[in-house]
Structure 1
Amino acid sequence: MLNAEIKIFDSTDSNNDILKSTGYDGTAIYVDDGNRKEMYVISQGSTNGPDWFFNAKGVFFITYCSFQSRFDLVL
């Protein structure tokens, strides 16, 4: 048996207005066994237009940051 603190968070329980407006649906499982802390996220997939827009923003932001980091190394 796993001797750990386990917490389960569902996106529908969030009070975050930005998260609510995206339509995101997912669950996070937090596990702390005293030696390490881990979080597992189970996404339910994109459900509507605002959710797809939110996902696309993240992809472009990460790509932009990655490009900027490589560009700064060249300079």
Structure 2
Amino acid sequence: MFIFELFKFVVSSTSVFSSIHIGLGMRTAEECRKLAAAYRSKAGAAGVGPRTASVLKNIAKSLTGLAKQYDLLSAIEEEERRAN
């Protein structure tokens, strides 16, 4: 399930600049954070092997980083909008 969610996430996150303003399945920073939390939770679940847990934690870190980039992009866009 988590791999499928990641696949859907990656597919919906391609062509970022062409879909930011028209909403073609773009994830938000909050969605990235929620998905990261789900991956961290799965990594800590009983029965998850150490290698799998490590990969899940790394995915969670990447999603958290992406959320920060979305936040930064939003701030820059808002700043540019105010300047114009």
TM-score bracket, normalised by the shorter chain, equals 0.3 to 0.5
Q: Provide TM-score, normalisation by structure 1.
A: 0.42
Q: Provide TM-score, normalisation by structure 2.
A: 0.38
User: Which structure: greater helix fraction?
Assistant: 2
User: Which structure: greater strand fraction?
Assistant: 1
